[in-house]
Every structure is written in structure tokens, then in C-alpha cells.
Structure 1
Amino acid sequence: MSDRAALMDLMAPIRGRVVAASALQVVYAVSALVPFVCVAELARELLAPGPPDGARVWTIAAVAIGGLLVRFLAFGAAGAIMHFADADLQLHLRRRMAAHLARVPLGWFTDRNSGQVKKAVQDDVREMHHLVAHALLDLLAAVVTPLAALAYLLTVDWRLTLVTLLPVPLFAVAFAVMMRGFGDQMSRWAEANERINAAVVEFVRGIAVIKTFGQTQRSYRRFAEAVDDFADFFGAWVRPMLRLSGLSMALISPPTMLLVVLAGGALFVSQGWLAAPDVLPFALVGVGLTAPFLTLDMGSMRLRRAAESAGKVAALLDSPVLPEPEEPVAPEGSRVEFRGVGFSYDGETQVLREIDLVMEPGMVTALVGPSGSGKSTLAKLLPRFHDVTEGAVLIGGQDVRAIGSDRLYRHVGFVFQEVQLLRAPVAANIALGRPGAGTEEIERAARAAQIHDRILALPRGYDSVIGEDAHLSGGEAQRVSIARALLADAPILVLDEATAFADPESESAIQDALSTLIAGRTLLVIAHRLSTITGADQILVLDGGAVGERGVHADLLAQDGPYARQWAAYARASERDWTHDEEVVR
């Protein structure tokens, strides 16, 4: 779908009001011209040979006053209708986008940064405001007013009308040259803005870590480079346009138009082709004949930008949603099975292939392997962040695609390293998986997650809002997410080792909380520290998206294969870290 088509489709909910406001704007555009025409006609009447016709003079004056009244009423009504329509459209689109984002696969968000989503939901929808509330009406007036003025001038003298229009073709040529490649440049402009948005979000969200490791200058440099790149691109785009823009605007400016009208009028009068009073309508109306072209110029740019934004909003709304079964089934138990699972992000490159795995209730299964081996991808297939492209993932004998999201997330919980907390009270964040949970249940989960005392120390306790009066460390936020998983009480848990980057004090608290969380549950854990999974019931070693080895820790060491080599490397690294820590203490 083209950007223009997407724009028309998105505006469908307010189409009726747009038509009504457009009709009023046509009335406004014509009535705005009436006073000028009346002044010109009044002057022609008063300057004509012989005594003026009093009745006609008063009629002209009455028409002028009526035109002014109609102009103000039509303008106000059209503007009010479109502003209310714009507010409703923005609310409708944001609600629609929020509802759609709630239905896309969770893996969709891993492929996009926060800046891109924020730009679509906030900036691109806002970009459509000027189009709906202003540009459409301005563009309509910019077309109707010159046409009405042209029709009137043709009734006065068609020859001088053509002379008055002489600057217009020159303006059109200059404008066409100036607008060459505008669509491509606008696309680059939007991409540059997205990069700036992403850099800002990355800088702000990571400022604590950035300062901790003394990388403020490096992180700020990324933002500065994004801004500099935008400035270089924008300067290279706009600089050549400035001369043409100045020339094109000068060609249709009021002084130029007045000069053309007076020169043409003087010639016509001197040749006896036109009476002197008949030049006055051209001086009053003809001078303003091209004034709306400036609005047309700016409005067309706004229209292109709005169309570009509408295309991005439409693209987001067209993102494939997670297919939901018409008749969801219920899993029978918490046995997990991967049958011949294969997966590809783009439909071409296989990230996973021929994965077979059985997880019995209460069993701990660990995934290990080098970076890029497919551990995270495989783990995210269980809570259905993505759908498999080959084979099937089953829970309790039922394909996860047939279970339905609501029921699936009551059976599968997950705790990842990157904690996501809402800007909401701490209690609401813990009860996210069970919105109807009572205060006692929430506090019980928080105690089990070793975070209850820290929450009570907040200004408003459990009512403190994350990001406002509740500022938690990474380890504390992780324990809130563990409390959330405890309260949800899902029998199956996917765990991306939550202590991989925690400080020793937080690690101890998190490990205690995790011990409570995983008790009796079927666990699939992505292992970063091999020492934490030596007691796992089964370990899968992934290599290149396939299972290279599987077994328990002792058996895998005895095989002296990839796992044994990885364990040896891990042991050497741990020994170096321990030796270094001892030297620091000394």
C-alpha cells in the first residue's frame, strides 16, 4: 500500500467530518474573496462616467458585509470540526496501535528498538495533526480561492487576466526542479530521525551503566554522530533548494504581481483596450491571485510528511499478529516436547534445525553453547515469542499454537536478564500476571523474592510508582520480576540466567529468590555460568542451531567433546577471576 493510500485508509473513521469541513472551507474560500471583489466593483461604479447608482452601491456594500460574516462563520466551523476530528483520529489510531502491539508476537519487539516504536506511536501520529487540522483546509482554500478569483477576472477582461498569470508558469518550473527527488529525501529524513530517537532512548535508558563504566563520552558520541549525520544530510538537501525557493517565491510575491498588473494595465489603457477603472480589480484581486501558492507549497510538504508518517503507522498496523486458535485447547499436564523443531527469522536462513527435546514435569533442562548457537531463540519458542517454521512445540500433549495466548502464559512463565517494569505501582508490576491478586498474595510473592523489605522502604511502599518515586537497581528490579513470576505460579518456567551481570550482593539475593521460584517447576534455563547447571537433569549443547551433545554434566565431561572444552575454558576463566580478586584484596 502506498503512503497516500495508507493515509486515506487511516482517515476513514473521520471521512464524513472531513467532507463536511471541506464543504465549509469551499464556502469560506469563496466568501473570503467577496469583500475584495465588492471593493473593486464599488470603485468601478463610483469611477464610471455619470452619477453612481445608489441602490447598486448599497447592494455591493451589503454583499461585502455578508461575505465577511459568512467567511468568519465558515472558517470557524470548518476549523472546529477538523480539530475535533483530529483529536478523535489520534485517539483512535493510538488505541488501535496499542491493541495491535498487544497481539504481535513478543519476538517482534526484539527486532525493533524503542525509538522506532515510539516514533510510530507518538511522532508519526502527531505528524498527521497538521494535515488533518490545518493542511487539508489550507490546501483546499489555496486551490478554490485562485480559481474563484480567476473566474471573476476573466469576466472583467480575459486578456489582462492572461498577462496577470505570466509569473505562474515560471514559478511552476522552478518549483518542479526544486521538488525533484523529494520523496526519496523525505524517506532519508525519516530514517535519520529514527536514528536520533534510537540514540536518545539508548543513551537515557543506559545512563546508569554508562556512567558506572565511565563511557559517557562514548555513548554521547553516538548521539552526537546521529545528530551530525542528520545535519550534514539536511544541509546537503536544503542548501541547493534555497536559491530556487527564493526565486520561485519572488516570482509570485505581491510586489512582482503588482508590477505585472500595473505594467499590463498601463499598456492596455494606453492602447484603448481597457478602461482605467477596470484595472482596479486586477490590482486588488490579481495581486493576491498567487498568494495561496505559498500555502500550497508548505501544505504539499506537510502532506508528503504526513503521508510518510501514515505509511509507517500503516506498516506497524500491518505487522503480522500472533495467530490465535478459534477453539483453544487446554494442555494436559506440564510435559514439554520439541518435535523436529526448525526455525528461521527470514524464511531462508535456518537458525534452528531438527531439535528434539522432552522435558518431564519438574525436570531442569539447561541450554549451553557459544554465542549465536540458538540458545535464546530455542528458549523463546516455548512461550511462543515466535512460531516454529518446522515441527512443533507441545505442552501437555498440545501444540502451543492451539492453546491460545492467555492460557499459554498461565502455563509458561519467563524471567530474562533484561527486566521490563511498567511505569505503574510496584504492586501492579508484581500482579501483572494475576491482576486480581490480593495484597497478601502480592506481599507473599515479594517476600519469597527477597524484595519485600526494599519495597516497604520506598516512599509509598507498594503504591510507589516505578520511575517516579520508586527507583530500583538492576538486581532489585530483577527480584520484582521474580516476584511477578512467583505470583503467576506457572508450572513451566523459561529462565535466562538472571544473575549473569549482577553484583555479588544482588546475586545472592536473586539466587535465593530463584531457588524459591524454580522449586517443583519444569525449568528451561539458558546457562551463562556453567557452574549453575551442573545439577541439571539434562544439558543440551547447541552448535550452529543443532544439538551437538546432550546428557548430564558428568557424562558430558567424560565424552571430552564441546561441552568438556567449554567447561575447561570456563574453569580457567573462573580461576583467573578468583586469583585477580585475591590480589586486589591483598
Structure 2
Amino acid sequence: MQWRVFKRLLAASASWKKLWMGGCAILLLATAMDVLGPYLIKHFIDDYLSHGRYMDAGSVQLFVIYVASLLIGSLAHYGAPLIFSRIALQVVEKLRKDVFQSVLSRPVSYFDKSATGALVSRLSNDTEAVKELFLNVIANFITNVVLVTGIFIMMAVLDFRLMLVCLALMPLVVGAMVMYQRLSTPMFQRVRALLSDINAQLHESLNGMPIIQLLNQQKRFNERFRGTVQEHFRWRVKNVKLDGLMLRALIDMFSMATLASIVYFFGRQSLEDVVEIGVLYAFISYLGRFVEPLIELTQRLNIMQQSLVAGQRVFELLDTEPERFDGVNQITDGRITLRNVSFSYNGETQVLQDVSLDIPAGGMLGVVGRTGSGKSTLMQLLIRFYPVTKGDILIDNHPLNTLSATSLRQDVCLVEQEPFLFQGTLADNLRLDRDYSEQEMTEALAKAGLKSMLQRLPQGLATPLGERGGRLSNGERHLVALARALLRKPKVLILDEATATVDSESEARVQQAVNRLHGEVTLIVIAHRLSTIRHADKIIVLHHGKLVEEGDHRQLMSLEGLYQHLYSIQTAHLLAD
């Protein structure tokens, strides 16, 4: 799994091959300069200093070469991270764009099961962690592998037997790295999951702050959040302990054993033959430079594990099957037919059961029923937020899944019970991605009964509405959402209890707008206040997911059934008020 994630992340950076090649070339140059330094000093000690030749032409030339290698190495060490940083940032940019596009293509049912904070964490924290893979792991790995290879070559040139002694360190380091990976992977997965939980709880708490304070739930939410943070802390401490044991202490122990072996070898050799001090210096210097890359490689496993776990979470989101709209048919009139439609969210409880009806083009259908009767579910099926479990929904005699996405989203508009307005101006919320003229937007607002509101706004259509339309009243937000739908000139307009939470004046405006649209578009009105649908061509009554009554207002009242009961209750409340 980890290797597949690593390959996919490398594939994501394949678009920048020239940068990769340039970065690797500069790294090779930097490594060559690093390896060259101790070798030059060895020659200076053994060939010049030990023979009393301190400031002759040869030693000066060696000094110039040494200084030049330091300067070139410094410049190369400066340039390489810049190139790899650019690659890392471009990969993160691409991943974020792809992930966000993937999220936008998810069906609505996906968001029913996914916490918003967890999605935000994947889009921000996890993609940021992926950047570290390129910046601190891959670049470091290439640098240190080349450096270790160069060091072994130079060691072999100086003394092949001592090179074999140092080479014995490699299997021990590789074994430690493999063991660390196996032990740390579940830890990092748990840490990332807890971080998502923290983000999700923060998002939920901040959005629900008025309710939390109203119901005096601060203590409970604080305790829950503290518990999650504490568990995240405990797992991070476990990870730090593992890092302390496996990443530095173990490698240091191996390196000290190798150094002791080199010193022992030179000690034995000094008893039998002349020891070249320069070779001893070079080996100790190379050993130090050899151990540090190994320590860095092992320490980078920490970052690599976090990056790969984060990358796995990002790819899980990217690999989720998007909602597909492969249909080609267009909506022309807006006639709607339901044939024995049933639906269940969980596959067990039927929310709708065997619902059949016909709505002619330009007709008005009222939908009523108690809470939980399936009214809103019926509307969500009509706009294809969820697939029908059983039966068929047809628009203009075309099955819903054969309609093109463009036609469905353009010609079927929904005004929700709690409409969402984006942060921006009034014009931004009306236009969204379309190019409407100022006159068209003004006419749509007038049709929705917002002409007086538009005149009252200080900057007119350019007035910022604030987050979620906070500068408008609840009723005005509903009417702006209605105007936004009218701008698209839909063939079918669905109002999902659009007057349930508005005042009487806003309700009257919605009612006037509905009356003006009656006959122009196919209207489906889910009514909490039954006065809104008194003049509907047909009214259906849902009860526990079943269609139990249908007809116009007068017919349903004469039945003296559930509709008459609901209407009488509302009338009695109005008279009491």
C-alpha cells in the first residue's frame, strides 16, 4: 500500500521532469564537492604537511581547489532545495485542485456520511504533509544516497579493507529502517485520523456556537474536544518515543561501533607499519559524513510515513467514484411522471413507498404531510441528488438518468427551506458562474418581490451580503434564492417549504411570485403553510412515505381526511393568534 502511494505521488510530479533533472544534477555536483573535501585534505596532510611543505606552489594550488569546491558546493546546496521546493509546491497545488474538483463531483449522499472538518483536513493538512515528502524526503534521499555512494568509492580508493568494515554498517541501518516503518505506520495513521477528528469537532462547534451557548453545552463540548486532543497527544508521544529509540540512538550506536573498529585497525597497523595520518583523518571524516546521511535518512522516515499516510488519505478521496451524468436528453417542457417510486437511504427503512403521479408541463403541484413523511426526499430524488431505489422518474418522458447534467441543473431549480448564500455581493450570489445583465438581475429581484430591498441597499447589486447572507433577513435570503432560481428561467421550479421560517410579509411575497409563475413553469411546492398551495392544480398528501390523498384543495377538504385535518389545525392556530 505504502509503495503504491509513493509511486502515485511520484507520478503526480512527472509533469516537471526538467526540474527534476536540473535538481538532481545540482545535487550530484554538491555531493561531488562534499566528497572531494576530505580527500584533498588527506593529500595535503600526507603529501605536503608531513614532509614540511607548507606554502609551496602545490599546497597553494590544493588550497585553491579546496576553497573552490567549498564555494561550488555551497551554491549547489542553495540551488537544489529551491528547485525541489518548487516541485513540491507545484505538486501540492495540483493535488489540491484535483481533490477539490473531486469533492465537487461527489454525490450529495457522500456528504451525508463525511464530516466537513475531515474533508477540510484532507484538502489542507494532508496535502501540506505531502509537500514534505518532496521537500524533505525525496530530495534528501537522493542527496544522501549519492553522498554515501561517493563516500564508499573514496573509502575504497584509500583502503578497501576499511571500506568493507564501514559497509558492514549498512545492513544494520536498513534493518532498523524497515523495523521503524512497520512500527510507525499504524501510529501515523491514528495520528492523522485524530487530527481530522479535531478539525471536524472544531468546525461543528464553531458553526453550532449559538446552540451550544443557548443550551449551556460548553462543558460537554469542551470535555469531548479535550479528550480528542489528549488522545492525539498520547499517540504523538508514542511516536516521539519510537523516533528517539529507532532514529538516532540506534544509528549512533552502530556508528560508534564502526568508529571503534576503524581506530582498532589503525592501532594494530601502527604496531606493524607506518600509519598515514591523512588516511586516518579522511576515514574518520568520511565516517562522520557517512553516518550523518544515514541518520538523516532514518529520521526522514518519520516525515515520509506522515506524507505517505496523508497521501493515502488524499488518494482515497480522489479515488471515490464521482457522480456521473452520462445522459444526452434535454428538458423541453417540464412534464414530470413518477411510476411506483420507492426509496431508502440505508437500504432498510423505506422513506418513500410506491409513489406514482403525473404533473403536466406548467402545472402546479402542492406536497403536504407531517414531518418525516418523505416530502423533501421526493424533491431530492427529482433533482437527482439520490438515485431512485425502485421505480422510475421521467421528465418529458425521459428517464431521469438519461437527462444531461447541463439540462437538469439548468432547467430544474430548487429553493431550499434554508437557502445558502455565498460570501460576496448580491450580484455575485445571483450570477454565480453565469453572465447576467444588471437589468436581468433587477427584473428577477422584482419578480421575487425584492424591488424595495434592492432600493434600500446602499450599493445596490454591488452590496456585500456577508457570510451566508448575514446582512439580510431570513425572509430576504429566501427571496434572493428564489430570484437566483428565476434568473435561470427553469422549466421546473421546486420550493421546499420556502415559507416555513419567514414572516407573514415575506410569505405574501413568495405567494405572489408563485402566482405569477403559475402556468409559466412546472411548480412543485412543498408546503408547511397550506395557504401557499390552496390554488395548486393538484395537491398530494404523503404519510409515512405513502401517497394517501390527492386532488385539489376543494376535493381534499371534502374527503375529510388527513389534509382536512392539517388545514383545520392551521386555521385554528391563525384564528387563535
TM-score (structure 1 length as normaliser): 0.82
- Specify the alignment match of 1:135 in structure 2: 137
Residues 208, 4 of structure 1: alpha-carbon distance in 2 compared, 3 angstrom cutoff = same
Say yes or no: does 1:467 pair with 2:466.
Answer: yes
Q: How far, CA to CA, are the matches of 1:564 and 1:470 in structure 2? A: 35
Compared with structure 1, are the counterparts of its residues 63 and 425 closer, same or farther at alpha carbon in structure 2 (3 Å cutoff)?
A: same
Give the Å deviation of 1:151. Answer: 1.8
Q: Give the Cα–Cα distance (whole angstroms) in 2 for the partners of residues 224 and 419 of structure 1.
A: 34
Q: Would the alpha carbon gap of residues 52 and 214 (structure 1) be closer, same or farther in structure 2, given more than 3 Å must change?
A: closer
Distance 1:99 1:564 in 2: 45
The letter for the 1-side match of 2:380 is K
Q: Distance in 2 between matches of 1:225 and 1:493?
A: 47
The answer to whether the Cα contact below 8 Å between 2:35 and 2:154 also exists between their aligned partners in 1 is: no
Which letter does structure 2 place at the counterpart of 1:432? Answer: L
Contact 2:421 2:468 in 1 (8 A): no
CA distance in 2, matches of 1:221, 1:430: 42
Aligned counterparts of 1:58 and 1:427: Cα–Cα separation in 2: 75
In the alignment, which residue of structure 2 is the partner of 1:281?
282
| 1:512 to 2:514 alignment | no
Q: Which residue of 2 aligns with 1:491?
A: 491
Range moving further from structure 2, 446-455 or 150-159: 446-455
Quick one: structure 1 residues 458 and 242, their matched pair in 2 at CA, closer, same or farther if it must change by over 3 Å? Answer: farther
Q: 1:252 to 1:415 in 2, by over 3 A?
A: farther
The 2-side partners of 1:45 and 1:22 are apart by 34
- 1:335 matched to which residue of 2? 335
Report the equivalent of 1:20: 22
Cα offsets for 1:142-196 (capped at 9, x unmatched): 2211221122112222333344466665555555444433222222222212111
Alignment partner, residue 359 of structure 2: 359
Please tell me whether the aligned partners of residues 6 and 307 of structure 1 are also in contact (alpha carbons under 8 angstroms).
Answer: no
1:427 maps to which residue? Answer: 427
The equivalent of 1:35 in structure 2 is 37
3-state SS of paired residue (1:420): coil
- Measure, in 2, the Cα distance between the counterparts of 1:169 and 1:81: 32
- Structure 1 pair 77–557 and aligned structure 2 pair: CA distance change class (3 A): same
1:220–1:463 Cα change, 3 Å: farther
For residues 122 and 234 of structure 2, what CA distance do their matches in structure 1 show?
24
Secondary structure (helix, strand or coil) at the match of 1:472 reads coil
Tell me, yes or no, if the aligned pair for 1:325 and 1:404 is still in contact at 8 Å.
yes
- In the alignment, residue 443 of structure 1 is paired with which amino acid? T
Aligned counterparts of 1:263 and 1:509: Cα–Cα separation in 2: 96
CA distance in 2 between partners of 1:557 and 1:221 (Å):
53
Q: How does 1:29-178 map to 2 (within 5 A)?
A: 29-48=31-50, 57-58=59-60, 60-164=62-166, 172-178=174-180
In structure 2, distance between residues paired with 1:213 and 1:80: 53
**Residues 163 and 264, structure 1, Cα contact 8 Å, conserved in 2:** no
| 1:290 equivalent in structure 2 | 291
The CA deviation at 1:446 is 3.3
Provide, for residues 321-362 of structure 1, a one-character-per-residue CA deviation record: whole Å limited to 9, x for no partner.
Answer: 333347x33223111112344556678987655442322232
CA distance in 2, matches of 1:42, 1:260: 25
CA separation in 2, counterparts of 1:418 and 1:9?
43
What amino acid maps onto 2:550 in structure 1? G
Judge conservation of contact 1:338–1:358 (CA < 8 Å) in 2. yes
Q: How far apart, in 2, do the equivalents of 1:474 and 1:171 lie? A: 66
Q: SS where residue 187 of structure 1 aligns?
A: helix
Q: Report the RMSD for the aligned CA atoms in angstroms.
A: 4.0
Q: How does 1:139-288 map to 2 (within 5 A)?
A: 139-164=141-166, 172-239=174-241, 241-245=243-247, 247-248=249-250, 250-251=252-253, 261-270=262-271, 272=273, 274-288=275-289
Contact 1:366 1:527 in 2 (8 A): yes
Structure 2 alignment gaps of length 5 or more: none
C-alpha displacement of 1:413: 0.8
Give me the whole-angstrom Cα distance separating, in 2, the residues matched to 1:314 and 1:209: 35
Q: 1:449 to 1:166 in 2, by over 3 A?
A: same
The answer on whether the counterparts of 2:424 and 2:465 sit within 8 Å (CA) in structure 1 is yes
Unaligned 5+ residue runs, structure 1?
A: none
Residues 1:443 and 2:439 aligned together? no
Match of 2:266, as an amino acid? G
Aligned length: 567
Report which stretch shifted further, 409-418 or 41-50. Answer: 41-50
Equivalent-residue separation in structure 1 for 2:359 and 2:399 (angstroms): 15
1:129 deviation in Å?
2.1
SS in 2 for 1:388: coil
CA distance in 1, matches of 2:31, 2:18: 20
- Give the whole-Å Cα distance in 1 for the aligned partners of 2:214 and 2:488: 34
Could you list the per-position Cα deviations for residues 244-297 of structure 1 after superposition, in whole angstroms to 9, with x for gaps in the alignment?
4452254267x7876664455334434548544421111222122110123212
Letter in 1 for 2:477: A
Amino acid at match of 1:187: Q
SS in 2 for 1:287: helix
The answer to whether residue 416 in structure 2 is matched with residue 416 in structure 1 is: yes
Letter in 2 for 1:116: A
Task: Assess, with a 3 A threshold, how the Cα gap between structure 1 residues 235 and 299 changes in structure 2: closer, same or farther.
Answer: closer
Q: Which amino acid aligns with 1:337?
A: T
Q: 1:455 to 1:12 in 2, by over 3 A?
A: farther
- Does the aligned pair in 2 maintain the 1:456–1:462 contact within 8 Å? no
Q: Distance in 1 between matches of 2:215 and 2:435?
A: 41
* Cα shift readout 1:7-46 (whole Å, capped 9, x = no counterpart): 2332232244324322332332232222232223322223
**2:546 aligned residue:** 547
